[in-house]
Amino acid sequence: MALDPAGQHLRHVEKDVLIPKIMREKARERCSEQVQDFTKCCKDSGILMVVKCRKENSALKECLTAYYNDPAFYEECKMEYLKEREEFRKTGIPTKKRLQKLPTSI
């Protein structure tokens, strides 16, 4: 059975694992200020971070959860995934390898 490169059907693993992975990565980028604040607090507080960083942790969770629960954000990530999958099915080359620059000294 040949796969249609532009096919929109998603397998279980794509819906439940791969797209949420993209969502996590993009949400962390978009919540970078909260991620930095929480990271700095943890580094500065050492073993007491559980107690001292509650405010930063809550802000980070709130930011990430807002993205995770946004249907438009899910669709955006789903379309990005489908575009990458379509390109892979056409070329057979994963996105990460395609984006790496070729050595110029050849």
Query: Could you tell me if 89 and 5 are in contact, meaning their C-beta atoms sit under 8 angstroms apart?
Result: yes
Every domain of the chain and the residues it spans: 17-91
Nearest alpha carbon to residue 79 among 67, 69, 71: 71
| Single pTM value for the model | 0.76
Q: What is the pLDDT of residues 51-87, one digit of tens each?
A: 999 999 999 999 999 999 999 999 999 999 999 999 9
Own/partner pairs, 77-86, CB within 8 angstroms, 24+ separation = 77/19, 77/22, 77/23, 77/26, 78/10, 78/19, 80/22, 81/14, 81/18, 81/19, 81/22, 82/8, 82/10, 85/14, 86/5, 86/6, 86/7
Q: What is the pLDDT of residues 16-42, one digit of tens each?
A: 999 999 999 999 999 999 999 999 999
